[in-house]
Amino acid sequence: MSLQKDDWNEHWNNFGDSSEINPAVLYRQQYLKKLLKVFETKSDSVLLDIGCGTGSFLHVLEQEKLNYRLIGLEPSASGCDRARIQTNATIIEGDVLDLSSLSQELMHIADIGVCSEVIEHVDDPVLFLNNCKRLLKPEGHIVITVPGGFRSAYDKHIGHRQHYSKRLLMTTLLNAGYKNVRIYRAGFPIFNVYKLLTIMAGRKLIETASVSEQHGESKLTVLISKTFNLIFKFSLPNFPLGWQLVATADVSE
């Protein structure tokens, strides 16, 4: 079977700006920010954002002044370029699926790895997550987010191989060798409604995002984004029907 190769340079060039105001992205970032506060950290603790994209989450963490040294790892040059503009974190270009592309200095460097909305793009998520362990300290932790529910036309267009159920995400992390896996099904009902609207929009959403990248966001798009940003706070952090899956796991017992 031939594996699909995503062009992340093209992705961030075409959809980088629209992702910055996407209310689902902002909801995930706020959820992760609160979740990270439960981990005990020291002054020299390292947080590695694996697949950091344009660096928007690293920028959020900088504003919070959390007790981490921040590093972003991103496979695309365009993503790295954007990330270096909006964050002071260390940004490194490299591909987790190709460990030879990574500096030895990255091996076992991170106390916490964050991998948000990445493994749904990967043909072999078990291999990817297993490789991520090489970047984490023996006592380190990983925090994962993945989409649940149905895939929209936009999801398929940007390379989502699959969406996850709680059971599939649990199995994937266990098969990759992680311990003490905890999974939260967040977002019900507002996140689910937002995703249903993207499914109903079909390919029109792809066209809208592409136009926005070239000419800026329309007033309607901005209004919709602001509205959902206001009401996302009414989403439940963990409920069986939530379509935003979040997991934490440990490298060792």
Q: Where are the beta strands (DSSP E) in the chain?
A: 46-50, 69-74, 90-93, 110-116, 136-147, 179-186, 244-250
On the 0-12 / 13-18 / 19+ scale of CB atoms within 10 A, 45 is middle
| Nearest alpha-carbon partner for 35 in 18, 72, 60 | 60
Confidence at residue 210, expressed as pLDDT on a 0 to 100 scale: 59
Confidence at residue 219, expressed as pLDDT on a 0 to 100 scale: 65
**Higher model confidence: residue 42 or residue 37?**
37
Q: Per-residue pLDDT for 61 more than 70? A: yes
CB atoms within 10 A of CB 252: 13
pLDDT one-digit tens code per residue, 186-207: 999 999 999 999 899 887 877 7
What's the average model confidence in pLDDT over 130-156? 95
Confidence at residue 2, expressed as pLDDT on a 0 to 100 scale: 35
Coil vs helix vs strand at 225: helix
Confidence at residue 229, expressed as pLDDT on a 0 to 100 scale: 86
Confidence at residue 17, expressed as pLDDT on a 0 to 100 scale: 58
Confidence at residue 228, expressed as pLDDT on a 0 to 100 scale: 87
Window from 40-49, 209-218, 230-239 with minimum mean pLDDT: 209-218
Q: Per-residue pLDDT for 71 more than 70? A: yes
DSSP state of 233: G
Asked if 217 and 18 count as a contact pair (C-beta separation under 8 A), the reply is yes
What's the average model confidence in pLDDT over 36-57? 89
pLDDT one-digit tens code per residue, 206-228: 776 655 555 456 666 777 788 88
Q: Per-residue pLDDT for 1 more than 70? A: no
pLDDT one-digit tens code per residue, 89-106: 999 999 999 999 899 999
Confidence at residue 136, expressed as pLDDT on a 0 to 100 scale: 97
pLDDT one-digit tens code per residue, 9-29: 766 665 545 566 788 999 999
What's the average model confidence in pLDDT over 111-122? 96
Q: What is the pTM of this model?
A: 0.89
- Of 3.40.50.300, 3.40.50.2000, 3.20.20.70, 3.40.50.150, the CATH number of 8-250 is 3.40.50.150
Window from 33-47, 67-81, 100-114, 135-149 with minimum mean pLDDT: 33-47
Domain extents in the chain? 8-250
Task: Read off the tokens for 140.
Answer: 């380190």
